[in-house]
Structure 1
Amino acid sequence: MVTTGLRTDPQDTSLDRENTHEIGNAHDLREVHPLQSLLPLLAQSLAHIADESAHMMVVTDADGRVLWRDGNPGVLRDDSPGVLRDGNSGVLRVATEPDRTEPCTDRPLMRVLHVQSRSAAPIIDPDTDRVLGCVDISGTARSPHPATVALVCATAKLAETQLALRMHERDERLRRRYEALGGHPGILLSPTGRVLSGDPLGTLGERLPLPAPGERMILRDGRFVLLEPFSDGYLLRAAPLTSAPTHLRLRGFLGEGSPTALVGEHRLPLSLRHAEILALLALHPGGLSAEQLSFHLYGDDGNPVTIRVEIHRLRAELGDTIGARPYRLTSPIEADFLELRGLLASPDPASLARVYAGPLLPRSESPEIRRERDEFEVQVRTCLLLRGSPDDLWAYAQTSGGREDFEILQRLATTLPATDHRAAAAQARLRA
């Protein structure tokens, strides 16, 4: 059996002297790749079977560049149309056609390529959910064994399990160092932005976009924080205010009100389009590019040039509260919909009913705003039906979504005294 990252077999003449520098680059790529430490495990799982069945095992990176090959010596030495050398890097690739290479996909596959069969499965990084690489068994047989795909998939899952175990071990070491500080001074993040500790209600989600260390950012609940390196990860701490920054306050975004922005003492009525842009930037504190904003506002028909013009107009009114590259809010922000998002994680329906004046920007047709609006509506309604008092339910029944909500009205009609005018109103709406 020949085991090789590239062909290092003494009988192999496919890589001549002029490719020496390119081979070194391939070796460097293999040494720093996240799958490097798993290559012995992958080889142990598949190489012996590949050798005995006249196949070879190939491990590639996400772009299809070969990190490791192992298997039957005859197949490894065979320059068939399905195995090519990359003219740019000197590494080998598995190709579907003699002039085209194939990167990793995010699902297993089985193909017969000319006189070569290939069964492959991706290896997904549990930390980032991205494809790290691909493991496959290739050979000259026209018909691969039916169990080959299952075997390759099981090997890929084994590699992912090992990656997950190592990730959890790193996370636990980082948490122990964090807890040793005492008092939970901030929010603990992994090197890739996963939230590990300091957010017991889970309001920040599983992952945050990472700004540069020392750069201020705004969380979903409006808090202003700084990113600081900590051990092998990061801490988000409350940003010190050396001088009072200009606060941005967004009002009238929930319900039928008129959206406005308050910057200091300056009050700015907002058009629907400007309200949508500010809402999207507040809901995506890590920032959005012009292309992303355009897609969130218009879908596939959007034009980033239009977004840049609207941002220019907004910045003329709101000053330095909007940063660029990517577009983001740079001032401490307060907004009724951000307050609502925070309250949805709290056990106080009364506060929820007080804040929720109705759907988020109800006239907006933006795909992203509609998605957020629907999520708010479902969460608020569910919370009030589970824990809300008659007063809370009546407050919700005054919103556009609650006026004709059969379940809400029925609950009011049956729980309020018959002499209560709200019970009579609920009965009238039910009859209508």
Structure 2
Amino acid sequence: MSYAHLDAYTRLLRSAREAAATGQIWPESPRRLITASWRRSLEAGIDPEGKSAPLVLDRSSITDAREAHPLQSLIPLLAKTLCGLAEQTGHIMIVTDGDGRVLWREGNHTVLRRADQIGLADGHHWAENSVGTNGIGTALATGRPVHVYSQEHLMRVLHIWSCSAAPITDPDSGRVIGCVDVSGTSRNLHPATVALVAATAKLAETQLALRMYERDVRLRRRYESLRGRPGVLLSSTGRVISGDPSGRLGERVKVPAPTLPGTRMVLRDGSTALLESFSGGFLLRPAPSAAPQALTLSFLGEGTPSAKLGDLDRPLSLRHAEILTLLALHPHGLTAEQLSFHLYGDYGNPVTIRAEIHRLRAQLGNAIAAKPYRLACPLEADFLDLRRHVAAGDAGALARAYAGPLLVRSESPEIRRERDELEAQVRACLLRHGSLDHLWAYAQTANGRDDYEILERLAALPSTDARSAVARSRLLL
């Protein structure tokens, strides 16, 4: 960019920044990356007139953070790559952790002293939510290399600075663990510097990947020395290294923290495993089989549907109750597409069903198996009990068990059909086999309250029977 174009862009930035700071409509916006960063920064409450990045780590805390950081051993490599350039051109190199806290810096001594004035120094925090738009914070916020020029910074005090920064991702954990940055005065730092900084970040990631591979090799050798190679071998971050040839666990298992010996985990396929420490990594071994807990569903009547698993009672949303009802009615299982159709008809979306199943499994664990979705535990359900009582013609048990219609608020086509059929069968069984006591119990439910034929039979009771008076009064309504 020529100086003429640079001056024009600077004027644009100045007017846009003043408008943004005062809440006015921007006359013309800077490039999209900066516009988005300004908005995030203003929403975070950044003061454009702020003077410095905040200090968040004291000297002893910085020492501990450096020693524990995976980039500690790579700082000489990063310095060798960038500090020669920084010294010659009047710039400084900064390396932060994944939160944007400065852990290391090197470079031109004159520039380092100027950097101290704005907190571009060890222990200071350069995330966007601390100082607004800047190379370090914006690179971490976007997950990609960025160059931030002069007045593209939201804070006025940073306008004499420009910076190029790139995030560094740990290939083992998959997390952004740091950021490398070159900063200097605005006219001296060429925008092409960002390419060199990005290449340096990639170099660091390559070194991390090489060391990860060497650790994997050592860990795999110890694993292969075990008789029968039991279990699945994980890295310390939960990355699957060996023992899962079918890929059923995916690339990574979420390891709980803290990890205690024999930690029991429910895996993505619904199976249960024990997590054990092993030579700096972990082993997942199949958990001893235990009698599964029974799942009890209470879905009749107008109250909140609930599920009981073992000793724990859980209230359920209507959607989760509908899914469990359908799985109970189809013991061989249903796909996400079939569940979606039964719940929503032709307008269903299997993606929505998968998300709901995920939430439901968070409550009920391995009670729900996958591929296809099905109930994988002993099941008791009040509406299934009704079916059995109807089939046996047991009006007494039916009257005691019937609490009202099945999921009365459900609009699912499949559940509405089941609800209507069940209601018709309950009513017919009571009329055919039930005593007056059984009919009276049914008359206290939502559907029985105004049932003409039921009330007629009760009205025929002697006039001294209070039930007769109630039935006659309802018939008159």
Q: What range is the shorter-chain TM-score in?
A: 0.5 to 0.7
For residue 65 of structure 1, the aligned residue among 79, 101, 111 is 101
Alpha-carbon distance between aligned partners in 2 of 1:246 and 1:187, rounded to the nearest angstrom: 26
Tell me: CA distance 1:263–1:68, structure 2 relative to 1, closer, same or farther (3 Å). closer
CA deviations on 1:279-337 (whole Å, 9 max, x unpaired) are 9xxx9xxxxxxxxxxxx9699xx9xxxx9xxx8xxxxxxxxxx7xxxx44445654452
Cα distance per residue 1:71-106 (max 9 Å; x no partner): 11111112476x3168xxx72455889965853331
Query: Distance between the aligned counterparts of 1:192 and 1:77, measured in 2?
Result: 39
Secondary structure in 1 matching 2:190? coil
Task: Tell me which of 217, 240, 245 is aligned to 2:292.
Answer: 245
Matched AA of 2:123: V
Using the alignment, how far apart are the partners of 1:57 and 1:162 within structure 2?
19
- Among 221, 227, 230, which residue is 1:176 paired with? 221
Letter in 2 for 1:218: V
1:110 matched to 2:147? The reply is yes
Structure 1 counterpart of 2:11: none
1:271 shift after superposition: 5.8
CA contact (8 A) 2:89 2:188 kept: no
Q: Sort the Cα spacing of 1:180 and 1:96 in 2 relative to 1 into closer, same or farther, 3 A.
A: closer
- Count of residue correspondences: 268
Task: Note if contact 1:64-1:101 (Cα within 8 Å) is conserved in structure 2.
Answer: no
Distance 1:176 1:160 in 2: 24
Query: Comparing both structures, which one devotes a greater share of its residues to strand?
Result: 1
1:231 to 269, 276, 279: 279
| 1:246 CA drift (Å) | 2.2
Alpha-carbon separation, structure 1, partners of 2:187 and 2:113: 18
**Cα RMSD between the aligned structures?**
4.2
2:247 pairs, out of 176, 193, 202, with 202
The 3-state SS of whatever aligns with 1:200 is coil
Choose from 75, 92, 98 the match for 1:39: 75
User: Which secondary structure state, in structure 2, belongs to the residue aligned with residue 121 of structure 1?
Assistant: strand
Q: How do 1:310-389 and structure 2 match up within 5 A? A: 327-331=362-366, 333-337=368-372
| TM-score for both structures, normalised by structure 1 | 0.53
Structure with bigger gyration radius: 2
Q: Is 2:99–2:127's contact at 8 Å kept on the other side of the alignment? A: no
CA drift of 1:189 comes to 1.1
SS in 2 for 1:59: strand
1:160 counterpart (200, 205, 225): 205
Identity fraction in percent? 51
Query: How far 1:249 sits from its partner (Å)?
Result: 12
CA contact (8 A) 2:95 2:179 kept: yes
Partner of residue 393, structure 1 = none
Partner of 2:155: none
CA displacement at 1:273 relative to structure 2: 2.8
CA–CA separation in structure 1 for the residues paired with 2:148 and 2:99: 18
Displacement of 1:210 in angstroms is 1.8
Unaligned runs of 5+ in 2: 1-54, 151-158, 298-306, 311-315, 328-334, 336-350, 375-411, 414-477
Q: CA deviation at 1:123?
A: 0.6
Take 1:197 and 1:117, find their aligned partners in 2: how far apart are those partners? 46
Aligned to 1:133: 178
Residue 124 of structure 1 is aligned with which of 155, 169, 176? Answer: 169
| 1:215-294 correspondence runs (5 A) | 215-241=263-289, 243-246=290-293, 272-274=319-321
- In the alignment, what sits opposite 2:400? none
**Do 2:270 and 2:366's aligned partners in 1 also have CA atoms closer than 8 Å?**
no
CA distance in 2, matches of 1:63, 1:331: 36
The equivalent of 1:77 in structure 2 is 113
1:91 maps to 123
Q: Secondary structure at the match of 1:150?
A: helix
The residue type equivalent to 1:219 in the other structure is: L
Mapped to 1, the partners of 2:323 and 2:185 lie a distance apart of 57
Q: Is the 8 A contact 2:270 2:365 kept in 1?
A: no
Task: State which of 18, 22, 28 in structure 1 corresponds to 2:64.
Answer: 28
The worse-fitting range, judged by mean Cα deviation, of 231-240 and 328-337 is: 328-337
Aligned to 1:189: 234
* Distance apart, 1:169 and its partner CA: 1.0
3-state SS of the aligned residue for 1:118? Answer: strand
